[in-house]
Amino acid sequence: MIEVDRLTKQYGSITAVDRLAFTVGRGEIVGLLGPNGAGKTTTMRMLTTFIPPSSGRARLAGYDVLDAPIEVRRRVGYLPESVPLYLEMRVREYLTYRAKLRDVPGRRRRVAIDYVLSRCGIEDVQHRILGQLSKGYRQRVGLADAMVHEPDILILDEPTAGLDPVQVREVRALIRELGDRHTIILSTHIMTEVEAVCSRVIIIARGQLQVDESLDRLQSARTLMVEVRGDGEPAKSIIQSVKGVVRARVVDHDETTVTLEVELEAECDPAEQIANQLVRLGVGLRRLQPRRSSLEDRFIEAVGQANLSSDLDNSSGAA
């Protein structure tokens, strides 16, 4: 449903998005993450044809953002972070106006508006003036606007911003349900939101793709915590000799025990071999526990790697 190929956006000498490439399949809910200034909003604006790319291509539902922008807009619903509303209009009046702009046929318009009013929980304010609504209600009106023309793709920038905890839970549940009928890209700074809603995560930093993995794989166990009796150095040497171990390091110790953190290669699970080797060579094994990598851990790691790479590039350039 979404194909992005070396998508780039430059503002003078500044590269906001740098050769970004990924694909999103039908029915996927993908979390788009990155620190402030990473290029997330710029990427979403290019995908929704609000700004043109400097180079590269993007196709949504089979249509190119440069060659067929109107067809792309027919098939995409976009909720920007700051929802642009006509504050003097009433909710239903505004959604009717927006449905007309999006060429929703007159015979289907009322049904479509009733549907999004119900799904977004704004039926009770449909006759109120937008300027009199709270930020949370305005956010939900923006989501209804993005959905009113029944698009194939939804691109949502901070969809739960300004909502109270009950509303946040309702919107997250709605997004999960919408995944049955729509392809969704969700940008947010809330890690728990991605974990609750998304099946896949894309992390960008400094305009470049850093991570593109399923949430399950991203959170799979990548380290082991091993606690042994006595001196940790023999255990460390034994563990590092096992195939699939990247490195082992001491992270804690007391008078009788030592705890090591063991970093593993991707797709490897040498826990049983480590345990067998330690016991066979007479090391007192007290605990061996896989530790799941959190989304926050991977986010910080990816951003740190991007910053380090940029610093090295700058140093090379200066030299």
Average pLDDT over residues 232-238: 89
What is the spatial distance between Cα 128 and Cα 168, in angstroms, rounded to a whole number? 22
The CA R_g of the chain, rounded to the nearest whole Å, is: 25
Report the chain's mean pLDDT, rounded to a whole number. 89
pLDDT digits (tens, 9 = 90+) for 173-209: 888 888 888 999 999 888 888 988 999 999 999 899 9
pTM for this model (two decimals):
0.77
Name 226's bridge partners.
260, 288
* pLDDT at residue 256 is higher than 60: yes
Cα 127–chain centre separation: 35
What is the spatial distance between Cα 268 and Cα 295, in angstroms, rounded to a whole number? 19
* pLDDT at residue 240 is higher than 60: yes
Can you state the angle between helices 91-101 and 106-119, rounded to 10 degrees? 130
pLDDT digits (tens, 9 = 90+) for 140-149: 999 999 999 9
Name 153's bridge partners.
76, 183
Q: What pLDDT is stored for residue 264 in this prediction?
A: 83
Q: What pLDDT is stored for residue 48 in this prediction?
A: 96
pLDDT digits (tens, 9 = 90+) for 132-166: 998 889 989 999 999 999 999 999 998 888 788 88
Q: What pLDDT is stored for residue 67 in this prediction?
A: 95
What is the spatial distance between Cα 55 and Cα 64, in angstroms, rounded to a whole number? 13
- Residue 285 structure tokens: 């094994």
Q: What pLDDT is stored for residue 47 in this prediction?
A: 97
Q: What percent of the chain has pLDDT above 70?
A: 94
pLDDT band at 36; cut points 50, 70, 90:
confident
pLDDT band at 312; cut points 50, 70, 90:
very low
Strands 29-33 and 183-187: parallel
Q: What pLDDT is stored for residue 306 in this prediction?
A: 72
Measuring CA to CA, how many Å separate 71 from each of 137, 148, 190, 214, 303?
Answer: 29, 16, 32, 29, 35
Phi, psi (degrees; rounded to nearest 5) at 212: -145, 95
* pLDDT at residue 230 is higher than 80: yes
* pLDDT at residue 319 is higher than 60: no
3-state secondary structure 241-294: CCCCEEEEEEEEECCCEEEEEEEECCCCCCHHHHHHHHHHCCCCEEEEEEEECC
Alpha-helical (H) ranges within 48-134 are 69-75, 91-101, 106-119
* pLDDT at residue 315 is higher than 70: no
pLDDT digits (tens, 9 = 90+) for 73-121: 999 999 998 888 999 999 999 999 999 999 999 899 999 999 999 988 8
pLDDT digits (tens, 9 = 90+) for 261-308: 888 886 778 889 999 999 999 999 999 988 766 788 778 877 877 776
Q: What pLDDT is stored for residue 295 in this prediction?
A: 81
Stated length of the chain: 319
Cα 61–chain centre separation: 20
The domains of the chain, with CATH numbers, are 2-217 (3.40.50.300), 221-292 (3.30.70.3190)
